[in-house]
Amino acid sequence: MKKRWIVPLVFTVFLIAMISLVAQLLKGNDKPKVIIVLKRLDIEYWKAFEAGAKKAFRDFDIDGTVTAPTSIYPITNQANLLKKVLKQHPDALIVAPTHIQAANPVLMEYKKQHIPVFLTATDVEWEYQASYIGTDNFTLGKTAGELLGSMLRPGDQVAILLGKIDDQAMIDQKNGAKKSLEDAGITIVAEPVGYDRLGNPKPVLENVLQDYPNLKGVVATSDRLALEALKVVEEKELKISIVGTDGLTDMVESVKTGELSATVAHNPYDMGYLSVEQAYKAIKGDTIEKRVDSGIEIITHDNAQERLDFLKKILH
């Protein structure tokens, strides 16, 4: 008797499991599909962005993916990746453009297929973008310049170190810093690209210090440059105020320990979250904002630990 009902029972359990699996798959297919293509994913800034985006994927029940080329160069890498993503037919694309000229032909294909394209991190003002979500980089640079200016006196000499000559976000930051420093009566004596031909930042600042021994301050358009500048300043036992523009862990730790007075920070986590939120609204047919400012933050000794705790939470 037992053998007679065991087989039907097993079959019934199997059938229920299969129905449940099919239901889950069908439910998954109903989710909006959003793909994010970043510049890279191997550094803290973009990992924080990814963490914010993934939080939004969960909150809005989105089938989401974050990806990036294996290398920024050659400049066609991101465009080639965008072509592959297009074949997946996402409901929306979020992209942090590396070189908009190279990406433009592919992005036009998204437009033809009526896939909304959201730009993030670098505002290149592509004609057909659905929205820009990210930092107002001119304002960020302006705030960095104001912060440095508050540490100095009118007439003091400063240098602005540019991270990349072809990075629009960094160019905007430099221009913002330049504006506020000039308004404060600070003398900008040098605006070099912060790396030599071999990609080494140290010789650049050493040359600036040799030409301008009375230098009192530095604004760097990336934390890496700012930290390298700090090393040179400490080696030479100089008193030079340094401000970066990323707010990453090593920079914040330097503020906490007192090596630096303060710095300015992006909010890449919020940038990632807000980008997905805007894409979700567009897919649902809701009104979206043409520009969403993810904000900036001034990091001082008073709030450095809070920032470090947050970074530890989202990155580990």
- Give pLDDT, residue 27: 47
CATH architecture of 31-135+268-295: 3-Layer(aba) Sandwich (3.40)
Q: What are phi and psi of 153, to 5 degrees?
A: -120, 155
Helix (H) or strand (E) holding 241: strand 241-243
> For residue range 265-292, what is the model confidence (pLDDT) as tens digits?
999 999 999 999 999 999 999 999 999 9
268-284 helix and 44-59 helix, angle to the nearest 10 degrees: 40
Cα(118)–Cα(255) distance, rounded to whole angstroms? 34
Indicate the domain borders of the chain.
Answer: 31-135+268-295, 137-265
Q: Which three-class secondary structure state does DSSP give residue 150?
A: coil
> For residue range 186-208, what is the model confidence (pLDDT) as tens digits?
999 999 999 998 889 999 999 99
Which CATH fold topology does 137-265 show? Rossmann fold (3.40.50)
Q: What are phi and psi of 228, to 5 degrees?
A: -65, -40
Cα(312)–Cα(309) distance, rounded to whole angstroms? 5
Cα(83)–Cα(99) distance, rounded to whole angstroms? 15
Instruction: Give pLDDT < 50 ranges for the chain.
Output: 1-2, 26-28
Q: Which three-class secondary structure state does DSSP give residue 172?
A: helix
- Give pLDDT, residue 168: 87
Same fold yes or no, 31-135+268-295 and 137-265: yes
Q: What are phi and psi of 129, to 5 degrees?
A: -65, 140
* Residue 258 Cα distances to 244, 250, 252, 263, angstroms: 15, 12, 10, 11
- Give pLDDT, residue 122: 87
Global pTM exceeds 0.95: no
